[in-house]
Amino acid sequence: MWLFNSSIGRKFVMSLTGLALVLFLTFHASMNIVLIISEAGYNWICEMLGANWYALVGTAGLAGLVLIHFIYAFWLTFQNRAARGNDRYEATAKVWGVDWASKNMLVLGITVVLFLCLHLFNFWFKMQFAELTGIMTSAFNPQDGAGIVKWTFSGVGPDGFDNSWIHPCYSVLYLVWFVALWFHLTHGIWSALQTIGWSNLIWFNRIKKIGFCWATLIVLMFAAVVFYYIGVYFGALIQ
């Protein structure tokens, strides 16, 4: 089958899975903005996305997309390196149109996946997993997503303010993650759109700008929540 046996097919699969994950990130970032506006509204969304059958199917689908995207990334990277052989060490000049992110997509992708594991521990494990199994994995109700996020980044929890190093440390780690995610998305979005057919001269520069703006919007929405709770942390620290 050409999706498996040809490099074009593998790039096509990677592009489709990548764009599907970008759509999820757009939804996730938009959902997080609700947290700043209304904690009750955010908890309502968490209740809708808890241990309900459709949420579990969606979670399994997302896990499958990440796995396929990751496997194909390694597959294509090793295939490209094998095709180039030792020639890749002979290049001394930068190739026009090949930016830093495009040459480090695998490293950026691994960074994103590693931080994803931390993210799953901080939130999915304490929310959907806890609700599904009935095992209390934190001091919070599994549907109190707002409380869990607030405690993670600001230290303000049900027992008061926890003046611990872990909360600002989490904030810094997440901001580093967002930077890696931004680099990965700025190249990944336009590359995926180009692979699925938007590759003519008119749309080439346009899709690069679309990718840049889209990636920047997603990351800014994620970062806004972290910065918001950094402010809560220092406010509680002063008090």
CATH number at residue 125: 1.20.1300.10
Question: Concatenated DSSP letters for the chain?
Answer: -HHHHSHHHHHHHHHHHHHHHHHHHHHHHHHHHHHHH-HHHHHHHHHHTSS-HHHHHHHHHHHHHHHHHHHHHHHHHHHHHHHHGGGGGT--SPPTT--HHHHTHHHHHHHHHHHHHHHIIIIITTTHHHHHH----SSS-TT-HHHHHHHHHH-EETTEE---THHHHHHHHHHHHHHHHHHHHHHHHHHHHHHTT--SHHHHHHHHHHHHHHHHHHHHHHHHHHHHHHHHHHHHHH-
pLDDT in tens, 189-227: 988 888 887 666 777 788 888 889 999 999 999 999 999
Residue 106 placed within a domain: yes
Residue 94 lies in a domain: no
232, part of any domain: yes
Quickly state the pLDDT bin for 94 (edges 50, 70, 90): very low
176, pLDDT greater than 60: yes
Q: Is the pLDDT assigned to residue 1 strictly greater than 80?
A: no
| Residue ranges making up the domain that contains 177 | 2-86+99-238
In a domain? residue 92: no
Assess if residue 91 is contained within a domain.
no
Reported as a single tens digit per residue, the pLDDT across 99-155 is: 666 777 778 888 888 899 999 999 999 999 999 999 998 889 999 999 999 999 999
Neighbours of 26 (CB within 10 A): 14
What is the pLDDT confidence band of residue 26, given thresholds at 50, 70 and 90?
Answer: very high
| Domain assignment of residue 93, yes or no | no
Does a structural domain hold residue 223? Answer: yes
If one counts the domains in the chain, the total is 1
At residue 207, the pLDDT reads 84
Q: What is the pLDDT of residue 237?
A: 87
Tell me the C-alpha distance between 186 and 82, whole Å: 26
